[in-house]
Structure 1
Amino acid sequence: MTIPALKAYALPAAADLPENKVKWTFEPARGALLIHDMQNYFINFWGEDCPMIKQVISNIAALREYCRQNGIPVYYTAQPNHQSDKDRALLNDMWGPGLNKHPEQQKVVAELAPEEGDEVLVKWRYSAFHRSPLEQHLKETGRDQLIICGVYAHIGCLTTAIDAFMRDIQPFMVADALADFSRDEHLMALKYTAGRAGKVVLTEDLLPVPLSMAQLRALVQPMLDEDETPEEDENLIDYGLDSVRMMALAARWRKVYGDIDFVMLAKEPTLAAWWRLLSRERA
């Protein structure tokens, strides 16, 4: 009757994403970020030091930083740790007492703790819109796109995406910034969203440029043929980075830094050199 002990799995990558039925483009002026139920209680079911959860938290943190830098509102959902039987209702039948039994685990994980300016919504049901001012606040600020990340993909995150769609708010489910009971259920949530209620994206699709050396390394590593991780000053071409991928990176980063082109990246193809280009003050 409660959530089972959970095991890590491989987070979805580009090759795992379903085909999106819609061609929406995320626009910062229209968007908001929802960090869904990232409370210690829900994360602890994976145990301590779970690499998958660390990656999810890292991706969410990157999205949050991007949103803060670009004036995009950040919302959280968090269940209260004292819920009456009337408030909890059928959740008791499905999941038992939940946080009522573990009130000390109510807070959002420390790495994602809300900051001044963020809004924390009290969570009563699967959907973040239920008994909350989320829709009203989005409309008041002219926002009709919602980035959704957090846990659990096939329960609250999917239900919130469907609910957003029904309210004419475009949901963007971030495949590698979500976690779930299993990979199959995670992929099921993505498939349903892509075909019925929203758009499925990766963290990197929403971030024009990496915000740290760690994010740059995480972006480049899957493009390399070698399993070994290059040092910051090592030539990435020696590790299998090809010109096609380099041109794609140049095109992506040129949206923020107009002077970046393929020649500039190829002249000194190292993480250190690229980070110097990307850490400059943006125009």
Structure 2
Amino acid sequence: MPITTVDPRTALLVIDLQEGVAGAKTIHPVRDIAARAGELADAFRRHGQPVVLVAVTGSAPGRTDNGDASARAFPDGFADLLPELGWHHSDHTLAKNRWGAFHDTGLYEHLTALGVTQVVLAGLATSKGVESTARAAYDHGFHVTLATDAMTDFTESAHQHSLSSVFPDLGETGTVTEIITALTKS
């Protein structure tokens, strides 16, 4: 269902739009997605709403068919936020070592301390970092909105599955323009 409203205290969560993935082969160029997320961040800042910029700095332990991701070393500068996000001193930044941004990061406590009842999500990857964070936000009782044109993935099928099969059960969706319009009306 398209976005219907923006709560009085809504936070923007931008997931993994950082230098280490800027050149990744995604279905939409990462820097274009970061620019759209930056538009959202600017609008949230203008309206006095919280902006949280999340960077992945490690991986969860455990064996997978794709190997042990926890043994992966990230090079210097990997977690640096993309300049298109327009980082501002009022933004809350956090590092994560899981797909989702809530696990062991203090994000839930930060948002509840601010009185946040709704989160808007953007970033990379639609089916991993964004979806995992959206699921946790939903489980924590937040209203969830997903900025469909401010996220990308590594495959079209994974991206579309999240957009059409998962996100409608977790929250509302909207484009950057639709979300900014709803934010302005709130």
- Structure-2-length-normalised TM-score: 0.86
Instruction: Give, in angstroms, the shift of residue 70 of structure 1.
Output: 0.3
Alignment identity in percent? 22
Structure 1 residue corresponding to 2:61, chosen from 75, 89, 109:
89
The offset of 1:101, in angstroms, is 4.0
Cross-structure match for 1:26: 6
The answer to whether the aligner puts 1:196 opposite 2:175 as a matched pair is no
Distance, in Å, in 1 between the alignment partners of 2:150 and 2:137 is 18
CA apart distance, 1:170 = 1.2
Pair 1:168 & 2:141 matched: yes
Structure 1 residue 68 and structure 2 residue 45: aligned? yes
Q: Can you list the C-alpha shifts for 1:26-48, whole angstroms capped at 9, x where unaligned?
A: 23x2200001011111222139x
Task: Establish whether residue 37 from structure 1 lines up as the match of residue 16 from structure 2.
Answer: yes
RMSD: 2.7
CA shift in 2, pair 1:51/1:162, >3 Å: closer
Q: Which residue of 1 aligns with 2:56?
A: 79
Task: Give the residue type in structure 2 aligned to 1:40.
Answer: E
Q: Which has the higher helix share?
A: 1
| Alpha-carbon offset, residue 67 of structure 1 | 0.3
Structure 2: which 5+ residue stretches go unaligned? none
Structure 1 position 179, deviation (Å): 0.9
Is 1:120 aligned to residue 93 of structure 2?
yes
Q: Distance in 2 between matches of 1:51 and 1:78?
A: 19
Structure 1 contact 193–200 (Cα < 8 Å) conserved: no
Change (3 A) 1:51 1:24: closer
Choose which of 175, 179, 182 in structure 2 pairs with 1:206. Answer: 179
Q: Deviations over 1:228-252 (max 9, x none)?
A: xxxxxxxxxxxxxxxxxxxxxxxxx
Q: Tell me the distance in 2 between the aligned counterparts of 1:30 and 1:193.
A: 25
1:192 positional shift? 3.1
Distance 2:28 2:146 in 1: 21
With the length of structure 1 as denominator, give the TM-score of the two structures. 0.58
Aligned residues: 183
Which structure: greater strand fraction? 2
Alpha-carbon distance change, 127 to 54 in structure 1, aligned in 2, over 3 angstroms? closer
Query: Higher relative contact order at CA 8 Å, sep ≥6: structure 1 or structure 2?
Result: 2
Shift of 1:89: 1.2
Looking at CA atoms only, which structure, 1 or 2, has the larger radius of gyration? 1
The alpha-carbon deviation at position 177 of structure 1 amounts to 0.1
Structure-2 residue corresponding to 1:142: 115
Residue type matched to 1:45 in 2? A
